[in-house]
Amino acid sequence: MNRRLDNHPAYWAFVLHRLSGVVLALFLPAHFYVLALAIEGEGRLDAFLSWTDDPWVKFSEAALMVLLAVHMTGGLRLLAVEFLPWRDWQKTLIVCALGAALLTGAAFLANAV
């Protein structure tokens, strides 16, 4: 059997886990900036929070929640790979984890709107 590696669900789980980690790492400075605004004063934080009512920001927050869920489930998958024997049904779990991550983002977006 001669299959390419990039056709395997575990490869795409690996790619999503790494990409979500990079995006979350890039988000952290923005998060710390907003925390610093809260320390500086109520007026600056309120001005920033009024900007977050924009629909694109709400969508971005939902996307961030999806990335967080993808990264968390990818980390759990890596723990399972390290400590449990591999079975064919685990490919199904990879797809279910991605579905759960997307549902998490959708629920967050529905709550935010």
What pLDDT score does 22 carry?
93
Please report where in the chains the tokens 């900007």 appear, as a residue.
51
Residue spans per domain, the chain: 10-26+55-112
Q: What percent of the chain has pLDDT over 90?
A: 10
Contacts 24+ apart (CB under 8 A), 29-35: none
Mean pLDDT of 3-29: 83
Answering whether pTM is above 0.85, one says no
pLDDT band at 1 (very low <50, low <70, confident <90, very high): very low
Query: What tokens does 89 get?
Result: 């049904």
pLDDT (tens digit, 9 = 90+) per residue, 34-55? 888 888 888 888 888 888 888 8
